[in-house]
Structure 1
């Protein structure tokens, strides 16, 4: 994360070459460096995912921990090593560049990214120069080092690679932001069509959308007198009223964990795992809808039935939607049609599941497609 591993790798390789593999692993330097970069990565990563990045102080954690441990062991001699000084230099420089990028710098962010990645790649160049200094400290000079054509090649290549990597990182971030924006939009659209709970199930299990037979409670609720009322209103007024009703119903249905919610005209359909959730949702919907519809001199009726149905993706190869089909759905719709304003009609299976001792009334209704009268209960 940030500069938690770039310099430590170069520093470990440098000391490994200078001291030898066996001797280096016997000393505390290697383990102190690992501990320092792990703690820094953990702290910086936590800040990033909490949405409060702090790159400047965060990039100083590793050099601070490493310096304290090594200073206790080596004393003041620790600070005379050029690679130890370079650790602080790169940490401060990279941390500062990243901190400035958090500000609203606009198009300047590209140049800051290029500078940051050029600094990162120059770690290799600086550590190589330090290695050369250790190998020939008496005759080493920066001027001599840069005058050799091989070193000039390394310098130019390293700096150019930094610019290329920085520009690639900038492009990648742009694409990532576009993908995140698109993913958020698709998530929003998917929740509109599937509902939040069903979408979560589908993400975790692709088979959740497959056609299957289930026991479900189906609720229908629509506005009585809506057609006659809407004839005397503008389309904008009709939509405004319907949106108010649907906006009110959303948190209610979400609270009672509606598996599937669908709005058609002035009608709300919701599918629940059990009758108790459906009845509780219907009672709260009736209470809240009454407040919205009263100024319009309107009210709503509701019907609930419980039984087997088929649910899943239904449609052609190119156009599909998640829906529920079966006699349970049709019966719930017929109950809703038979309910008067402010009334909730439930079927015998719903009543049996709830084990309710009191209902307001019992009556028989005739339903389209059914030969016998159907017993319903009014809540």
Structure 2
């Protein structure tokens, strides 16, 4: 099979090198070059086969390793797009991103009331699965889980022109999914659990950050701190967003935004104008703030 596959290449003028796969898991690098006499007359062709199957196997293993790393943070579809594009996934770069913080209300009390195994299997695992599904549905990235919460990112590693809209849609989907879980927990465990969400928009350095021994794909910047503070003031079932995100939406929020006024966030010198996403009021673009 290998010889038959190179016959068409023998008519190629000049030297050439190609890779062929005559059968699964068998790869050759084939070099073809003319052999000439002293007066430059072509006498024939020389063909050199080099078995590169082991190298290709290592490449496949590395690709699978990178794919598994990608899928820790993004949906399978985004992971495949990154691999196809050959993106430098981990290099720290400055990006404009929307950052979403979400965490449960009353989680500390929960840990004192119920068995740890029940807490993990029937609450946290369900919670993180549902929240991840909601984020992935809009091509969001999971930055990390935080015990009873998580950080989501829109705008990295793949940016979309409508990332501000996507983060709002994802936040609403998360609250709706959480409401369904809360009803189940109320029925099964007699627990009343809520979740607050805060969203900010701005610049951050995104990439692999850490030591030589351990690195995480994460982001650093004031936008992260602001999202955390907004989440901290959000009540159960509420989504609080920054004025920066509202400006980025440019009057095209998929849900009505209600101004809550200026407030001072912990650790910030200046007051921040904040808004609430009105979950039960999908809005046409003409109705926006």
Q: TM-score, normalised by structure 1?
A: 0.51
Whole-angstrom CA distance in 2 between matches of 1:359 and 1:315? 37
Quote how far apart the aligned CAs of 1:180 are.
6.2
Deviations 1:123-169 (A, max 9, x none): xxxxxxxxxxxxxxxxxxxxxxxxxxxxxxxxxxxxxxxxxxxxxx9
Show the counterpart of 2:165. 276
Structure with the higher fraction of residues in strand conformation: 2
Show the counterpart of 1:373. 271
Whole-angstrom CA distance in 2 between matches of 1:301 and 1:325? 22
Please identify runs of 4+ aligned residues in structure 1 that moved more than 3 A: 175-187, 193-196, 202-208
200, 214, 218: which is aligned to 2:95?
214
Q: Does 1:298 align with 2:164?
A: no
CA contact (8 A) 2:132 2:142 kept: no
Q: TM-score, normalised by structure 2?
A: 0.65
Q: Please, which runs of 5 or more residues in structure 1 have no aligned partner?
A: 10-43, 49-168
Show the counterpart of 2:67. 187
CA contact (8 A) 1:195 1:260 kept: no
Question: How has the CA–CA distance of structure 1 residues 231 and 363 changed in structure 2, closer, same or farther, with 3 Å as cutoff?
Answer: farther
Quote how far apart the aligned CAs of 1:242 are.
0.9
Whole-angstrom CA distance in 2 between matches of 1:205 and 1:177? 18
CA contact (8 A) 1:202 1:209 kept: no
Show the counterpart of 1:54. none
Which structure has more RCO (C-alpha within 8 Å, separation ≥ 6)?
2
- Equivalent pairs counted in the alignment come to 221
Show the counterpart of 1:267. 149
Whole-angstrom CA distance in 2 between matches of 1:229 and 1:235? 9
CA contact (8 A) 1:195 1:261 kept: no
223, 229, 241: which is aligned to 2:110?
229
Quote how far apart the aligned CAs of 1:347 are.
0.7
Whole-angstrom CA distance in 1 between matches of 2:133 and 2:221? 27
Quote how far apart the aligned CAs of 1:352 are.
1.8
Deviations 1:192-248 (A, max 9, x none): 256643675267335342111111111111111111112111111111211111111
Q: Does 1:328 align with 2:223?
A: yes
Show the counterpart of 1:68. none
Show the counterpart of 1:289. 178
Quote how far apart the aligned CAs of 1:361 are.
4.5
1:1-379 to structure 2, matched below 5 A, reads: 1=1, 5=4, 184=64, 187-192=67-72, 196=76, 197=78, 200-201=81-82, 204-240=85-121, 241-273=123-155, 274-294=163-183, 295=185, 296-354=191-249, 355=251, 356=253, 358-379=256-277
Whole-angstrom CA distance in 2 between matches of 1:186 and 1:206? 11
Deviations 1:275-317 (A, max 9, x none): 1111000001000011112323101000011111111111122
CA contact (8 A) 1:272 1:278 kept: yes
C-alpha RMSD of matched pairs (Å): 3.5
CA contact (8 A) 2:263 2:273 kept: yes
SS at match of 1:209: coil
CA contact (8 A) 1:223 1:298 kept: yes
Quote how far apart the aligned CAs of 1:330 are.
0.5
Q: Please, which runs of 5 or more residues in structure 2 have no aligned partner?
A: 8-21, 25-50, 156-162, 186-190, 278-289
SS at match of 1:210: coil
